[in-house]
Amino acid sequence: MEAAQRALEDGGDPLEAIARRYGFGTAETLRRSFHRCLGVAPSDYRDRFRSTTGEHL
C-alpha cells in the first residue's frame, strides 16, 4: 500500500499500471484496498497530495 501511495504522489501513471506494478492486479482491487485502508479513493488521494505540494512551490 505504501509503495502505491508513493506512486500516486510522485507520478502520473494510470491507476491500472500502479495496481499491476504493486500487486493489486486491477485498478478496482487497488481502489477497494485504498478506500478500506485510508478511507479515500486513489484518485482523491492523488489530487489532495498534488494540491498540497503545489501550495508550497
The full 3-state SS of the chain, as one line of letters, equals CHHHHHHHHHCCCCHHHHHHHCCCCCHHHHHHHHHHHHCCCHHHHHHHHHHHHHHCC
2-57 residue pLDDT tens: 999 999 999 889 999 999 999 999 999 999 999 999 999 999 999 988 766 554 44
Domain parsing of the chain, residue ranges: 2-55
pLDDT the model gives residue 11: 85
Cell digits of residue 28:
478496482
pLDDT of residue 50: 76
CATH architecture classification, 2-55 = Orthogonal Bundle (1.10)
Q: What is the pLDDT of residue 53?
A: 55
Question: How far apart, in Å, do the first and last CA atoms of the chain sit?
Answer: 27
pTM for this prediction: 0.81
